[in-house]
């Protein structure tokens, strides 16, 4: 799937019908999470409850794997209990490893790369729009299916609604998979210029640029007829022109004098839709998705005869480039050697890797069934190994005469903070195998 941070392009089905009520184990959608754009968009990743700076004896390992997570927290005035989010119910697919990320709000830490980047974007808007934009960075990430999908016109059969791609608390409630989920409610509150920053959640595969929790910033600006009329433009042309001007300025503010290009895109909530790319380190890199907001969204939320632009930025993707951070898991590190390298207000200080610890590769092969999905496999690996899992990669696949398919996956284990012992990696792999067999109903080879 492809996301504002991470892009992957192996959508096997263009527009698959999905059974939203299907439970995790019944999930039938076998596409990667091409999320909202081009029929689909993109996504991001979790860490397991494992603190990667601890060494384990084999005996203690299993116990450690089941570390208790804090069970009550508060976000933006809403109290959230673990049992309200993680439920033993077929309509719930939220694991503890994801619950443990709720409330961490990296974007609200001024000394953290994600917070530093958020503040740099705020500076741009404050300077260029005389602080007209209202900033929200503490809206609760638990939203209704209506907010996350219906309010922004995501079609009923869109792949992003599947249990394979999105974390459902129950059939009507999800962990937001994009900050666009707040557009409609803010419009109804009378907001016309706003920035929403927050943590967003997507079930996904595992590699250095994908994590099931990441951060986005949504921008939204409404225009009234007098604004486009004074320039003799129609509402859409005016909004698109203002949008491009604004985002080109923002990109220069963050990256300096870079080469940029606009690419046509598809999002359900905007028309026309665009992506902005910059030429960076010898290739074109996507910076954001944006467009002119669909009239239906404006009309339904009290803005008849208005026009608007909107954009969505993936903060990790940009921060990885701006700070030279090689692996997305590092954002979640509490290691002083990572944290101490960043200072509030200093965008683009280059991260110096403190050490590169050796990887450990483990392969596993199994016969899959119709309900097998890579996202479900990755969810198990994250649940067991947390941030010690660096990649999960399909390295071989074949179908036998009886039309049964075998997959071989290579799991790379590596800590960002220390060397792993053979013993603990073997234990992790053994736990993964056990869970894969029992939860995914596949036959190990
Ligand atoms: N919600 C989109 C995503 O998660 C990003 C996005 C694209 C937001 C276009 C927007 C927009 O507001 O206009 O990938």
Pocket flag, ligand 1, residue 289 (CB < 6 Å):
yes
Inform me whether the pLDDT recorded for 33 exceeds 80: no
Cα–Cα dist 406/7, whole Å = 26
Inform me whether the pLDDT recorded for 375 exceeds 90: yes
Q: What is the mean pLDDT of residues 79-86?
A: 94
**CATH T-level assignment (fold) for domain 360-444:** Alpha-Beta Plaits (3.30.70)
In DSSP notation, 132-198 reads -SEEE----SEEEHHHHTGGGT--TT-GGGSTTTS-EEETTEEE-SSGGGGHHHHHHTT--EEEEEE
Residue with token string 């016969």: 367
Which pLDDT value is given to residue 69?
61
Q: Sign of the C-alpha dihedral, residues 273, 8, 367, 386? A: negative
Angle at 391 between CA 385 and CA 355, to 5 degrees: 85
Spacing, Cα 266 to ligand 1 middle (Å): 10
Cα–Cα dist 110/345, whole Å = 8
Q: What is the mean pLDDT of residues 86-106?
A: 96
- Which of 1, 4, 33, 308 should be mutated for ligand 1, with most atoms under 8 A from CB? 4
- Which of 274, 311, 313 should be mutated for ligand 1, with most atoms under 8 A from CB? 311
Q: Are 375 and 203 in contact (CB under 8 A)?
A: yes
Report residue 12's pLDDT band, with 50, 70 and 90 as the boundaries: very low
Tally of CB atoms within 10 A around 369: 12
Which pLDDT value is given to residue 11?
23
Spacing, Cα 281 to ligand 1 middle (Å): 25
Which pLDDT value is given to residue 37?
60
Q: What is the mean pLDDT of residues 262-289?
A: 96
Which pLDDT value is given to residue 71?
84
Spacing, Cα 164 to ligand 1 middle (Å): 20
The region of weakest confidence among 18-27, 30-39, 406-415 is 18-27
**CATH T-level assignment (fold) for domain 4-12+105-322:** BirA Bifunctional Protein; domain 2 (3.30.930)
108: Cβ–Cβ under 8 A, 6 or more apart, which residues? 115, 137, 138
> In the chain, where are the structural domains located?
4-12+105-322, 360-444
Inform me whether the pLDDT recorded for 116 exceeds 90: yes
Which pLDDT value is given to residue 141?
98
Inform me whether the pLDDT recorded for 48 exceeds 90: no
Pocket flag, ligand 1, residue 41 (CB < 6 Å):
yes
Spacing, Cα 314 to ligand 1 middle (Å): 9
Identify the CA nearest to 294 among candidates 282, 281, 308. Answer: 308
Pocket flag, ligand 1, residue 291 (CB < 6 Å):
yes
What is the token pair recorded at 289? 């998705």
Which pLDDT value is given to residue 131?
85
The region of weakest confidence among 5-9, 133-137, 366-370 is 5-9
The closest residue, in CA terms, to atom 9 on ligand 1 is 290
The region of weakest confidence among 59-73, 98-112, 393-407 is 59-73
Cα–Cα dist 3/44, whole Å = 7
Q: What is the mean pLDDT of residues 297-307?
A: 98
pLDDT tens per residue, range 248-273: 999 999 999 999 999 999 999 999 99
Pocket flag, ligand 1, residue 240 (CB < 6 Å):
no
Pocket flag, ligand 1, residue 181 (CB < 6 Å):
no
pLDDT tens per residue, range 156-203: 999 999 999 999 999 999 999 999 999 999 999 999 999 999 999 999
Inform me whether the pLDDT recorded for 281 exceeds 90: no
- Which of 247, 290, 298, 317 should be mutated for ligand 1, with most atoms under 8 A from CB? 290
Which pLDDT value is given to residue 307?
98
260, containing H or E segment: strand 260-267
Q: Are 61 and 23 in contact (CB under 8 A)?
A: no
90: Cβ–Cβ under 8 A, 6 or more apart, which residues? 23, 24, 25, 26
Which pLDDT value is given to residue 286?
95
Indicate the SS3 state at residue 361: strand
Spacing, Cα 312 to ligand 1 middle (Å): 4
pLDDT tens per residue, range 313-368: 999 999 999 999 999 999 999 999 999 999 999 998 999 998 889 999 999 999 99
Cross-strand partners of 220: 194, 310
Spacing, Cα 290 to ligand 1 middle (Å): 6
Mean pLDDT of the chain: 87
Q: What is the mean pLDDT of residues 380-395?
A: 97
Spacing, Cα 64 to ligand 1 middle (Å): 38
């Amino acid at each position: 799937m492809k996301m504002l941070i991470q892009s992957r392009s192996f959508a096997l089905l263009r527009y698959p019908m999905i059974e939203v009520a299907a439970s995790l184990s019944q999930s039938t959608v076998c596409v990667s999470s091409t999320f909202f754009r081009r029929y689909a968009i993109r996504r991001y990743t979790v860490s397991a409850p494992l603190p990667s700076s601890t060494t384990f004896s084999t005996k203690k390992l299993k116990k450690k794997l089941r570390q208790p997570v804090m069970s009550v927290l508060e976000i933006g005035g809403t109290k959230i209990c673990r049992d309200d989010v993680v439920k033993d119910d077929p309509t719930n697919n939220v694991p503890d490893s994801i619950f443990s990320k709720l409330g961490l709000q990296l974007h609200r830490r001024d000394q953290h790369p994600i917070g530093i980047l958020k503040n740099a974007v705020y500076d741009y808007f404050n300077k260029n729009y005389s602080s007209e934009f209202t900033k929200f960075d503490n809206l609760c990430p638990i939203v209704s299916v209506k907010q996350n999908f219906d309010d922004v016109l995501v079609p009923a059969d869109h792949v992003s609604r599947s249990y394979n791609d999105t974390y459902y608390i129950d059939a009507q409630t999800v962990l937001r998979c994009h900050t666009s989920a707040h557009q409609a409610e803010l419009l109804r509150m009378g907001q016309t210029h706003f920035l929403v920053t927050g943590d967003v959640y997507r079930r996904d595969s595992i590699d250095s640029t994908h994590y099931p929790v990441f951060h986005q910033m949504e921008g939204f600006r409404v225009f009234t007829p007098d604004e486009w009329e004074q320039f003799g433009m129609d509402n859409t042309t005016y909004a698109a022109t203002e949008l491009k001007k604004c985002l080109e300025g923002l990109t220069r503010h963050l990256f300096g004098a870079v080469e940029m290009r606009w690419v046509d895109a598809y999002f359900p909530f905007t028309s026309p839709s665009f992506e902005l790319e910059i030429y960076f380190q010898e290739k074109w890199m996507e910076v954001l998705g944006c467009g002119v907001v669909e009239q239906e969204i404006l009309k339904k939320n009290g803005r008849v005869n208005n026009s608007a632009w909107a954009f969505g930025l993936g903060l990790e993707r940009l921060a990885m480039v701006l700070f030279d951070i090689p692996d997305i898991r590092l954002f979640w590190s509490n290691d002083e050697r990572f944290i101490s390298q960043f200072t509030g207000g200093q965008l683009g200080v280059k991260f110096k890797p403190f050490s590169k610890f050796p990887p450990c590769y483990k392969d596993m092969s199994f016969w899959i069934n119709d309900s097998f999905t890579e996202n479900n496999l990755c969810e198990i690996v994250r649940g067991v190994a947390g941030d010690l899992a660096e990649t999960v990669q399909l390295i071989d696949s074949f179908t036998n005469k009886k039309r049964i398919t075998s997959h071989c996956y290579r799991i790379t284990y590596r800590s960002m903070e220390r060397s792993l012992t053979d013993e603990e990696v073997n234990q992790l792999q053994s736990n993964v195998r056990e869970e894969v067999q029992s939860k995914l109903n596949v036959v190990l080879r």
